[in-house]
Structure 1
Amino acid sequence: MKTIALIIALVVTSIFGYSQEQTETFSVTVKVANPLNDNGHVLIGLHTADTFMKGKGILNAKSKVTDGQVSVTFENVAPGNYAIMVLHDENDNDRMDFEANGMPKESYGMSNNPMLYGPPTFADAQFELTESKEIVIRF
C-alpha cells in the first residue's frame, strides 16, 4: 500500500513539475514595408541584448522580395526583450556592404524604426514580447 501511494505521489509531483517548466510561447511576424527593389534577399534576425550587432540572432530568416513585400514569422518565441534587425542583401553575399567612408551601401532597418546618426543600440530597437506581435520595419 505504501508503495502504491509513493508511486502516485511521484507521478503527481512529476506532472506538476513538468507543467511549470513549459512557458507560453508567441510568434513574431516581421513585415518589411518598403524594399527598394526585388534584388537579392532580405535577412531578418531576432536578437537579444547578447547577440545584437554581434552577428546572427537567436532566430534568423532569409526571404526573397516578392511584389515589393517581405513577411517572415518566427514561431515559438519565449517571452522576453528582443530586437529585430533587417538587411536587404541585394548582392546575396550574406553581409552588409559599406562605402569607403563607412556608410552602408544596402538598406537596413530595425524594430521601432529609430532614426539614428550612428550605430544602433539594443535600447533603440528593443521591444517586450508578452503576446504575439506583428512588427513593420521601414528602410
Structure 2
Amino acid sequence: MKKLFLMLAFAGAATLTNAHKVVIRINKVDNERGQIGVVVFGKDNYMKTDHPTWATLTDPIKGTTTVTADLPDGQYAILVMHDENKNHRPDMDGNGIPTEPTGMSNNPELHAFPTFDQLAVNIQGNTTIDIDMVRYK
C-alpha cells in the first residue's frame, strides 16, 4: 500500500490508443485538506504499483471531487486514497486499517484487501463511475 501511494506522487497518465473518457466521481469527501490519489489497474497489472494503467493526484473538493481518465474498453479496478496530511503515504493504525479515507470501485464492504474481481468495473465507451470514500477510524 505504501508503494502505491508513493507511485502516485510521480505518476503521469499514459496516452492510450482507442481511449474513452472515464469520469470518476469521488463522493463523500469530508474535507479539503491534502490531496486525493486515484489509481487505475487492469487485471494483468493489478497492484503492480510501479505499473498502473493510469494514476493522478488532485486537490480534494468537499462533497464530490471529479477526475477524468482516458481508458480503452476493458475491465479495471480503481483505488482512491485521501492523503489528508500530505505525507505521501497511507496512514494506518497498528492493525493495518487506514486512518485516512479510502474508496474503491464498486464500493465493496471489505474485511480484507480486495481482489481484482471484487473491484472490476467494465469500461465500454465513455463512462461515469461513482466511488464513495469511507473513513474507517
TM-score, normalised to structure 2, is 0.77
- Unpaired stretches in structure 2, ≥5 consecutive residues: 1-16
Query: In the alignment, does 2:91 pair up with 1:97?
Result: yes
Amino acid at match of 2:69: F
Query: Larger strand proportion, structure 1 or 2?
Result: 2
Name the CA distance, whole Å, in 2 between partners of 1:121 and 1:74: 22
Aligned length: 117
Superposed displacement of residue 31, structure 1: 0.9
Amino acid at match of 2:73: P
**Distance verdict in 2 for CA 1:95–1:54, change over 3 Å:** farther
124, 127, 133: which one aligns with 1:133: 127
Single out whichever of 123-132 and 91-100 deviates more from structure 2.
Answer: 91-100
* Conserved 8 A contact 2:31-2:61: no
Superposed displacement of residue 51, structure 1: 3.0
Query: In the alignment, does 2:78 pair up with 1:84?
Result: yes
Q: What SS class does the counterpart of residue 117 from structure 2 fall into?
A: helix
Structure 2 equivalent of residue 31 of structure 1: 25
RMSD of aligned Cα (Å): 1.8
Name the CA distance, whole Å, in 2 between partners of 1:88 and 1:51: 22
- Unpaired stretches in structure 1, ≥5 consecutive residues: 1-22
**Distance verdict in 2 for CA 1:115–1:43, change over 3 Å:** same
Name the CA distance, whole Å, in 2 between partners of 1:132 and 1:94: 31
Residues 55-74 of structure 1 correspond to what in structure 2 (within 5 A)? 55=49, 57-74=52-69
Name the CA distance, whole Å, in 2 between partners of 1:93 and 1:133: 32
112, 115, 126: which one aligns with 1:118: 112
Q: What SS class does the counterpart of residue 34 from structure 1 fall into?
A: strand
Identical columns (%)? 33
Structure 1 equivalent of residue 3 of structure 2: none
Name the CA distance, whole Å, in 1 between partners of 2:33 and 2:132: 17
TM-score, normalised to structure 1, is 0.76
Structure 1 equivalent of residue 46 of structure 2: 52
Q: What SS class does the counterpart of residue 105 from structure 1 fall into?
A: coil
* Conserved 8 A contact 1:38-1:68: no
Q: Which runs of 4+ in 1 moved over 3 A?
A: none
Query: Larger helix proportion, structure 1 or 2?
Result: 1
Amino acid at match of 1:47: F
